[in-house]
Structure 1
Amino acid sequence: MSAIAVPPHAADLAASASPVVIRSAHDVSRIVNAGAAQGSNARIVIAIALGGVFLDAYDLTSLAYGVKDIAREFALTPVQIGFVSAAITFGAILGALSGGYLTDRIGRYRVFMADMLFFVVAAIAAGLAPNAWVLGGARFLMGFGVGLDLPVAMAFLAEFSRVAGRGNKAASVAAWCPAWYAATSTCYLLILGLYAILPDHHLGWLWRFTLAFGAVPALAIILVRSRYISESPVWAANQGDLEAAARILKRSYGVDAVVERDASSAHKPRTASWRNFGVLFNATYRRRTILAATIGAASSFGYNAIIFGLPVIIASFLKQGPLTTIVAALLLNLLFAFVGGLIGVRTAPTVGAWKMTVLGHTLQFVSLIGLALIGHPGSGAFVALAILLLGGYLFGQGFGPGSHSMTYASLSYPTSLRGIGVGFNQTLVRSASTVSLFLFPILAAALGTKVFWVIALAPLTSLVVLLAIRWEPSGYDIDGEDYALSHGEPQAAAAA
């Protein structure tokens, strides 16, 4: 049976009677960039990767409503509450730093399955915690799993998607945002259901049930892993294992491929190394790294303060009761953040990441200034306006930096650097969220509603950097750029 040249679409490849020749990692990348054939497993892999993101968000959010009950049960001071709240992000910092390297070093699949085990053990331990020390330790372990997961989840999303058109890499990566908000909404739905069925004298257990539930979706992912999840074909090819890449293309893309090694066309991969952190700041990637880090850190600082502090903001600042607090938090996530995230996914291939991020940060800045000016609302009309402004902040987060902080972190780097790039970005992001989670209870207690002036500095900083660096990752073939650079071939930049 004779071999044929690479057709432009993966659907054509799957339907072809003859196998396609792959001679290098670049050939594998081009097949993936063309998009998966109908009925292939690639979309299922993307869905499972988003399931990992769902877990990240659920575990980070699950403590939000129970903070007051935990403080009362364990007699914690505001500073101690800050430490317990921030324990998960301390773990995420270390997890992201090591997870990014391991994702590039040992592969996407192995790291993904390891972090699922972290989620199961940590969720159960947190739900059964007898004291604040055990709770903090379990949350730290949970955070380590979150840190491991995000680099590998973003790698799966980027490396199982087409480069252009509907459902492109930018849209797939941006889908992490509605998955995140679906998780936070699920968390509040669970809290609402437990609040309705638990007797009043057992409401103190609500936070325990909520934390322990995080083990359920992790177990579900573990159970389906062997049938659908496989290694990234582009990563395997970058390791020089074209035979494994061909097998994965058959399994996940429905493409028959034969390996025909050609030294003249072979792409020598960049070996995974801790030194690759320095590569992020070379002439090619420096500006992209600065932009991705600024968007991610600013977005994380502001979002974590608002979303984690949402129950406190509604209950204390807006003087609402427990049931109103839960329902309002749920509706804000569903109607504003989740819908905004869906818009971010839909507009990624057409409008692009840069414009949507600028628009989102602008809306966030305006919303925070409005909340700072309203202060403690004295009437029902101002309460409604304050809640609408909170919704505006979350809506801007959804279609702007929420969706595209990961677009910039994932698609600014090729496969050989993606794990390290996302890991470095997430280290800074989790550092910002740690500071935010630690400081918010303290600043809220000291400043009251004036804390919104402090939070407003985050989107303002990101806006300034976005206007200075106009890099657009959506629709750009970053692996093609890496291949061209390794062969000394010029490729047009995607900056405006």
Structure 2
Amino acid sequence: MSNKNYEIRHPDDVNRIVSEYAGQGKSNKVIWLALIGVFIDAYDLTTLSFGIEQVIKEFSLTPLMTGVVASAIVCGTIVGNLIGGFLTDKIGRYRVFMADMVLFVIAAIVAGFAPNVWVLIIARFIMGISVGVDLPVAMSYLSEFSKFSGKSNKASRLAAWCPMWYAASSICFGIVLALYFILPAQYSHWLWRASLIFGAVPALLIIFIRGKYLTESPIWLANQGRLKEASEILKSSYDIHTVVLESKKDYKIQQNIKQSFWVLFNRTYLSRTIVAMVIHISVAFQYTTIAFFLPSILMNFFHTTTLTTITTTLTLNLLFAFTGGLLGVYLASRFTSRHILLTGFILQFIALVLLGWIGHPNSPFVLYSAIVLLGLWLFAEGFGPGAQMMVYPTMAYPAAIRGIGVGFNRAVSGIAQAIALFVLPMWMTKYQTDVFTIIAIFAFVPIIIIGFIIKFEPTRNDIDLQEPIVKPTSTTTNIII
């Protein structure tokens, strides 16, 4: 970077500098800290996917209470998404990010030492609030510290949340596998407790190193009218020297515009919100069925042993989900989000229909075929809906309402996932492997809506440079494509 001083007269000047020069200086460290936050979220939501069977035995849970325990954290994320989305836009990215890390550490430790099921439920609910608060701010960091185009652009960095998610899932099961061999047989029931407590470690890491690398988003500061502070961060994090000049042209500071979830449903943003909601609802039901209940599917439908269940789940996550996520990062920087998304949903639909057709495997060949189909679903999730579900809401809304947009859509996803966690244990008991055919509907619907009805593409233009905030209006029914 040259020693040239770049002039800043308007928030758009900051947006343009970040869009062109992000990725140098300490800004990449901020990206990694945001991704570590995503890692924590994923790890936290994964810990009980295997441990739920142990929790059922330890606390003698009924199917109803099992659903309450499993859905407690997701219910917490709903609250956290709404609170975090609003606060991220209102008070800034940095303060919200640090507060949710502290909350997570406390909740993880309490959950790990829970003496009864009610303490576990409350702790998991609070942990869910932390996860819910974190995602809107993490996505804002990933977007606002990245270039719009080229290598390591916004779309690819946002898509990186998916391989990070599956890396956390894989590490979670890797820890469970290690503890399986390390813990004496009489302490095997501590597998789920130890894995929960370990989740506090990366959160503590962020807390300890926050002062060296983590800063407020210069784009958020600029949109609040705090151009001098934005200029200071451009120098410290990007090594870009800027001079703030008085502008004779008036501009409306976005802070003065009332922040409300209703803005997502006005004429400008309604179609984008509908698409994002469809994606999040679809992913919530599919992910909960295949990814969260994967150990239960292997144990109850495929009749695998405990060790085989752990190793198979770990292998599927690494070979298919994580690999698909890495491919998603590559594809996001080279192809449009909509086409990637549709390809993923089509493959998922095929995998789910075939799994429903196979039913209970009655031979080794059919069993291996079913496991490969599970892997196909995970691979498609990794590069398609899993990666793109955060690209859509993050890049569809400008900085002033980005937290609200991501938070709202994640809350919708949380509601769908809470419902799924509650009903799926009962559906699996009643319908057995026919549940795959039912869930295939959630892959088919977005193919129709995104493929033929609302053809919105979030990566076509940089939203932070193209559009002002539009105030909510009474007209919320027109879909703008």
Scaled by the length of structure 1, the TM-score of the pair is 0.93
Q: What's the secondary structure of 1:373's corresponding residue? A: helix
Q: Per-residue displacement from partner, 1:415-470 (whole Å, max 9, x unpaired)?
A: 01101100110110111111111111111111111111221111111112111111
Q: What letter matches 1:179 in structure 2?
A: M
Q: What's the secondary structure of 1:258's corresponding residue? A: strand
* 1:61 aligned onto 2:46: yes
Instruction: Indicate the residue corresponding to 2:188 in structure 1.
Output: 203
Preserved CA contact (<8 Å) 2:254 2:469? no
Q: What letter matches 1:135 in structure 2?
A: L
Q: What's the secondary structure of 1:63's corresponding residue? A: helix
Alignment of structure 1 residues 21-420 onto 2, 5 Å: 21-36=7-22, 38=24, 40-264=25-249, 266-271=251-256, 273-274=258-259, 276-420=260-404
Instruction: Indicate the residue corresponding to 1:18 in structure 2.
Output: 4
Q: Tell me how far 1:484 sits from its aligned partner.
A: 9.7
Give, in whole Å, the separation in 2 of the partners of 1:206 and 1:60.
Answer: 15
Q: Tell me how far 1:362 sits from its aligned partner.
A: 0.6
Q: What's the secondary structure of 1:376's corresponding residue? A: coil
Preserved CA contact (<8 Å) 1:411 1:478? yes
CA pair 213-37 structure 1, distance change in 2 beyond 3 A: closer
Give, in whole Å, the separation in 2 of the partners of 1:282 and 1:262.
Answer: 31
Instruction: Give aligned pairs, total.
Output: 472
* 1:432 aligned onto 2:416: yes
Alignment of structure 1 residues 458-473 onto 2, 5 Å: 458-467=442-451, 468-473=453-458
CA pair 325-282 structure 1, distance change in 2 beyond 3 A: same
Give, in whole Å, the separation in 1 of the partners of 2:246 and 2:360.
Answer: 69
CA pair 485-118 structure 1, distance change in 2 beyond 3 A: closer
Q: Tell me how far 1:482 sits from its aligned partner.
A: 1.8
Give, in whole Å, the separation in 2 of the partners of 1:20 and 1:267.
Answer: 22
Q: Per-residue displacement from partner, 1:29-67 (whole Å, max 9, x unpaired)?
A: 0000003264x0111100100000000000000011111
Identity of aligned residues (%): 48
Q: Tell me how far 1:256 sits from its aligned partner.
A: 0.7
Preserved CA contact (<8 Å) 2:59 2:117? yes
Give, in whole Å, the separation in 2 of the partners of 1:294 and 1:449.
Answer: 25
Q: Tell me how far 1:251 sits from its aligned partner.
A: 1.0
Give, in whole Å, the separation in 1 of the partners of 2:19 and 2:375.
Answer: 36
Give, in whole Å, the separation in 2 of the partners of 1:278 and 1:484.
Answer: 12
Preserved CA contact (<8 Å) 2:23 2:147? no
Q: Per-residue displacement from partner, 1:352-385 (whole Å, max 9, x unpaired)?
A: 2111110001111110111101110000000100
Which 10-residue stretch deviates more, 51-60 or 345-354?
A: 345-354
Q: Per-residue displacement from partner, 1:214-244 (whole Å, max 9, x unpaired)?
A: 1111101111111000000000000000000
Give, in whole Å, the separation in 2 of the partners of 1:172 and 1:265.
Answer: 34
Unaligned ranges ≥5, structure 1: 1-13, 487-494
Q: CA RMSD in A?
A: 1.4
Q: What's the secondary structure of 1:262's corresponding residue? A: coil
Q: Where does structure 1 differ by over 2 angstroms across 4 or more consecutive aligned residues?
A: 35-38, 265-268, 270-274, 483-486
CA pair 265-485 structure 1, distance change in 2 beyond 3 A: farther
Preserved CA contact (<8 Å) 1:54 1:182? yes
Give, in whole Å, the separation in 2 of the partners of 1:100 and 1:31.
Answer: 25
Q: What letter matches 1:159 in structure 2?
A: E
Unaligned ranges ≥5, structure 2: 472-479
Give, in whole Å, the separation in 1 of the partners of 2:130 and 2:305.
Answer: 34
Preserved CA contact (<8 Å) 1:26 1:267? no
Give, in whole Å, the separation in 1 of the partners of 2:326 and 2:100.
Answer: 27
Q: Tell me how far 1:294 sits from its aligned partner.
A: 0.7
Preserved CA contact (<8 Å) 1:337 1:391? yes
Q: Per-residue displacement from partner, 1:77-125 (whole Å, max 9, x unpaired)?
A: 0110000000000000000011100000000000000000111011100
